[in-house]
Every structure is written in structure tokens, then in C-alpha cells.
Amino acid sequence: MNDAGYWSIFLNAALINNFVLAYFLGICPFFGVSSKIETAIRMSGAVSFVMLVASACAFGINLVLEAINAPYLRIISYILVISSTVQLVEMLMRKLSPPTFRALGIFLPLITTNCAILGLALFQTNKGYGFTQAIVYALGAGAGFALALVLMAGVREKLDLADVPQLVKGTAAALVVAGILSMGFMGFAGLGR
Amino acid sequence: MALKQVSPTDEFIKGLWRDNPVFIHMLGLCPALAVSNTAINALAMGAATTFVLLMAGLSVSLLRSFIPREARIVSYICIIATFVTCVDYAIMAISIELHRALGAFIALIVVNCLILGRSEAFASKNNPGRAILDGLGMGVGFTGALFFIGVMREVLGSGTLFGVELFPDGFQTWTVMVLPSGGFFAMAIWLLVVNWIRQRQADAEKQAAEQAGETAS
């Protein structure tokens, strides 16, 4: 059992060990949908929601797996739960908000293969978080993902207008921006314990 | 099939350069950036991914007539997760230090878009032989890319290569290269190099085509 306080778990997941900029989790959507602020916000909303549900499910599954002493089934059961959650979110979104659904397009099903979600489930298991701690961790991770994505989208919107050499345009420029952002986030390292 | 015939060697070669998963298609970036802080980690990660790629490709290709279309993604994920669990336990048995260095990223091979992508786009439509070649080619291409990033980060960031000191004492290491942001920078630099070479190749081909056109007329 881990006895870290909720606030420190939240800060740790959102800023100090930001999932995108420090752990490199969820890089594909990070570069894929970060060209416009609006899509970035929607995407991070979807990811945060899936994270929350997946975190709760992962906690339950882990209890069962430990009870039947089968830790080797962890990866396979986590990924199955995550993909069904994503399907659920996809159906909900199609029903509740068709424009959002269309705007996210291919990236919604791709949340399944977003390492941030599986990473979250695995990290919370490794750290031995309790149920509320796990939920707070998921909230923090979601907030951190949203922060990174929106910051990146803001920079890239401006970058589109700038006069950039043909070779550097696109992903190479985005990578350098991400590197600088990541350096900025290193400044938060003093915050946590 | 009416498609253009592709020779088996080409199936292998394409993953190395023309369709390199990391530098051209930007697939599997998460592990490429996360565990490439030393060359040896990069190689281990590449080898693990190649194994999963190979075995998943083979299994998907063998089972392709049994898997219903509607349930294919879930089936592929199950197949991939099985092999990843094998690799996870194998690495733990071989070297616990390596397992600790790679951390959760071995388990995260499951969600490497490269593997699911190749299963869906290639192995589910081709015979096992070709699926193996494709998996091997993609795996080697992935490993190569990781290795290049890893070498750059290790040499600049810690002044070593495979743990051997390279520079005399006075060398100031670029600590930023072993930190997360260094991963982004190293990737950006290699991407620029690849883009530059591709640009030159395209220009040369265009010039050759123009010259050929002139001599013909």
C-alpha cells in the first residue's frame, strides 16, 4: 500500500512526471491531433474520461487477479478492458455529440492503442495505489495530458504561420517544440517530494 | 491477386528504409523515445519488439481465415498481448537489471501501433512466409532507428557507448540528452537527416527523369 497524499499524487501525475513530456506516453495522438486547439481539447477530454474509467476497472481487475494468483494475465485483461471502454465511449459520443465524433475521426478508436491509458493502469498497479488514490492519479494524468496537448496545439497554431524551412516543417519542428516544452516541465521537478 | 508482384526480399528490405516505421511512418514513437537513453536499452527494446512483431505477424497470418472480420482488432490485441507477456517474463528471467531499466515499457509493447498496424495492414492479408519477412524487416528497421537514437543520446548525454568511456576527462556531457527532452531532440535531428537524404534522392531522380526526357526528344 502506498501512503502518498492525494494532492502530491495529482501534482506528480500532472506536472512533475507528465505522461506525455516525461514518460513519452501517448505520443501518437500528441503529434496527430495537436494542430488545432479545439480538437486538442476534445481529444484530451476523451482520453481523460477513458483514463478515469480504465483506472477504476484496472483496480478491480487487479484485485481479482491477485485473488486467483494470476499476475501473468494482467497485460491481456487490462488491454481488453481498455478496448471495450473505448468502444463504449465511441458509442456514447456518436449518440451525444456527433460533431465531436466526426472531429476526432480515426483518433477515437486509436485511444485503444494509446500507451498513456495502459501505462496509467500499469503504473498504478506497480505503485500499489488504493482506489481513491488511483482515481486521483487518473485525474492528474488526464489533466497533464490535456495540458501538454493544448500547450502544444497553441504553439503549433502559431508555428503554422511562421516561415519555416521546408525540411523542418511538420513533425521535425513539432518534435523540437515538444523537447522545449519537456525542458520547461522539468522545472516542476522541485514541487513534489 | 492483381496487385503488383513484390519479391520476398523486397518485403524484407522495405522496412529498413523506404517504409521505416519510426522515421517515415512515425509509428511506435513512444518506446522509441522513452527507452533510447542508452544504446543497450534501445537494442533490447528493439529485439523484444521484433520478436513480438514476428510472432504476432505469423499467428495472425496463420489464423487469418478463422478470425471474423468484426472481432479482428480484439483478436489481434489478444494475440499480441500473449506474446508480450512471454517477452516480459523472458526478460525478467534473463536479466532483472534490464527489466528494471525498461520498466513498464515492455508491457507497453502491446500498444505499440506498429505491431497492430502491421497485423491489420499486412499479416491479415498475406501468407505466413511473407508475414514473417515483413515482420522481420519492420522489426530490424525499428531496432535500427532506436539504435541510432540511443547511440546519439548515450554518446552525447553520458559520454559512453555500451558503457565504455569514449572521451577524455575534460568532456562536458550534455545531460539534457539523457533527460526526456533529449529524446525529442535526438529524434528531431535524425528525422531532419532522413528528410534531407530523401529530398536529395527525390531531386536526383527528378533530374535523371528530366535528362532522360531531353535525350529522348
The domain ranges of chain B are 8-164+172-216
Distance CA B211, CA A63 (A): 70
10 Å CB burial of residue B119 (0-12, 13-18, 19+) is buried
The confidence score (pLDDT) of residue B2 equals 39
Q: Percent of chain B, pLDDT > 70?
A: 97
Residues of chain A in contact with residue B73, where contact means CB-CB under 8 angstroms, are 83, 112
Residues of chain B in contact with residue A29, where contact means CB-CB under 8 angstroms, are none
Backbone φ and ψ of B13, nearest 5°: -65, -35
In a domain, residue A190? The reply is no
Residue A147's domain spans which residues?
6-185
Residue B50 confidence class, pLDDT cut points 50, 70, 90: very high
The confidence score (pLDDT) of residue B1 equals 38
The confidence score (pLDDT) of residue B56 equals 92
In a domain, residue A1? The reply is no
In a domain, residue A191? The reply is no
The confidence score (pLDDT) of residue A137 equals 92
More confident site: A121 or B71: A121
How many independent structural domains does chain A possess?
1
∠ Cα B76 B80 B86 (to 5°):
155
Ordered per-residue pLDDT tens for chain A, 193 residues:
567 788 888 888 888 888 888 888 888 777 777 778 887 887 888 888 888 888 988 898 888 998 888 888 888 888 888 888 888 878 887 888 788 777 666 667 777 667 888 888 888 888 888 888 899 999 999 999 999 989 999 998 888 888 888 778 778 888 888 889 888 888 888 776 5
Residues of chain A in contact with residue B195, where contact means CB-CB under 8 angstroms, are 167, 172
A106: Cα within 13 Å, side-chain hemisphere: 4
Among A17, A82, A53, A74, smallest CA distance to B111 is for: A82
Distance CA B34, CA B181 (A): 10
Q: Do the Cβ atoms of B184 and A72 come within 8 Å?
A: no
| ipTM higher than threshold 0.90 | no
Distance CA B28, CA A115 (A): 10
In a domain, residue A193? The reply is no
Cell numbers linked to A60: 478491480
Give which of A75, A84, A123, A125 to mutate to test B binding, by max B Cβ within 10 Å. Answer: A75
In a domain, residue A91? The reply is yes
The confidence score (pLDDT) of residue B217 equals 62
